[in-house]
A = this chain, B = another copy of it.
């Protein structure tokens, strides 16, 4: 007896159907938005992840040395592989590059609710288009992927923030460029620690003005609408012209982005929330997270602009924006909302066979009907009529197709609508055409 590894999942048919439903909706939505699917190996050179993600992520990898002495790792995320593929063919790919990916990722974490060692992600990215129009297109895909699954305004919000605004704001408040990353990390962790702790950390960067700086940070973090954002940012009086100029241009980008989201009728899903700075160091512009609106307010998806990463990995300078949406929290939410498909693998037709002669006749019909794409089941072993009718009923099949000795003589077959109980006698040669019609109309309850 064996068990699967901790943090890994078995997908029995009913669970596999749920997963495939999710994949189908993600794929359909991404295709409708003009994104093209790609894939890359689940196993990559360890250096690819080391370069991008830093030692902390590397410590959580499924990494090992292969038989050829190579340091390799199961991918923890998709972005490094995406950058590798797009970077390697940057010269010949049609621009903008709009790609998506659906696949599994691996992290060696302590398994717990919502944190598995193997999980699926839907990744979508737009490369080589730096304008806010690309950010809007990507956020629209993120929102529409959730609504296509049946979620609505009452279930989630896309919280929108901006790493650039934070850069400029910190600069305007006297934080030098090489201290910005440290300051953003403090801001990211601010809500989870004591105010005094944050203040002490900031003092190491800003010295005596830490108290003032924290006040300013708190006020920008509290921003929930664009008007207030403009007020606060134009109120930074004691800063240099360069920073003010950058802020002013950035507010123009915001107007463009919000305008597009407005025109797309999506602003009802969007909340401005500048408290979101997102942990990863490589984000460079607009960042966003989709959150549950009820319960634990967990994150459903997250993303943003990362204009410098592709170049950092050694390729051409390609601007980029992308998001990742995981399957675990999302399926949990969909399940609580009863938005996951129920019964699976219901046959269209369950065939009932009188005996071996009838089986011999039926087999070619069965294969013809399957060629139409219909799901057709029949008993592999000889079974009595009564038991077969019971099986047909339990299977949930739409129709039973009955091959008995009487039908055999007339080269015909009886078809029963399992819902209405209505029956029809069909000539076998008319079966294929008749079935297609009957699937639309059904057979009325009075047998003919």
Contact = CB atoms under 8 A, between A and B. Distances in A.
Interface in A219-275: 259-260, 263-266
A115 interface: no
Nearest to A59: B67
A263 B32 contact: no
Given A264-B363, A360-B259, A33 B85 contact: no
A410 interface: no
Contact of A8 (B41, B67, B148): B41
A375 interface: yes
Contact of A37 (B20, B34, B361, B367): B20
A68 B110 CA distance: 10
A377 B40 CA distance: 25
Identical copies in the complex = 2
A152 interface: no
A28 interface: yes
Contacts of A31: 345, 375
Interface residues of A, number: 93
A37 B10 contact: no
A31 B349 CA distance: 12
Contacts of A432: none
A157 interface: no
Nearest to A48: B2
A108 to B, nearest CB: 5
A12 B370 contact: no
B315 A1 contact: yes
A32 B374 contact: yes
Contact of A133 (B28, B265, B371, B381): B381
A12 to B, nearest CB: 6
Contacts of A360: 259, 263
Nearest to A315: B1
A43 B370 contact: no
A42 interface: yes
Nearest to A96: B380
Contacts of A39: 10-11, 16, 19
A5 interface: yes
B133 A370 contact: no
Nearest to A348: B32
Interface of A: 1-6, 8-13, 16-17, 19-20, 28-29, 31-34, 36-45, 47-48, 62, 64-68, 70, 72, 74, 80, 84-85, 87-89, 96, 99, 104, 106, 108, 118, 126, 129, 131, 133-134, 137, 140, 144, 148, 259-260, 263-266, 313-315, 344-345, 347, 359-361, 363-364, 366-367, 370-377, 380-381
Query: Closest 6 A-B residue pairs measured CB to CB?
Result: A64-B64, A13-B36, A8-B41, A11-B39, A32-B370, A263-B363
19 contacts: A2-B45, A2-B80, A8-B41, A11-B40, A12-B38, A13-B37, A16-B37, A17-B36, A20-B37, A34-B376, A36-B344, A36-B345, A41-B118, A131-B380, A137-B380, A144-B367, A144-B371, A259-B360, A265-B367
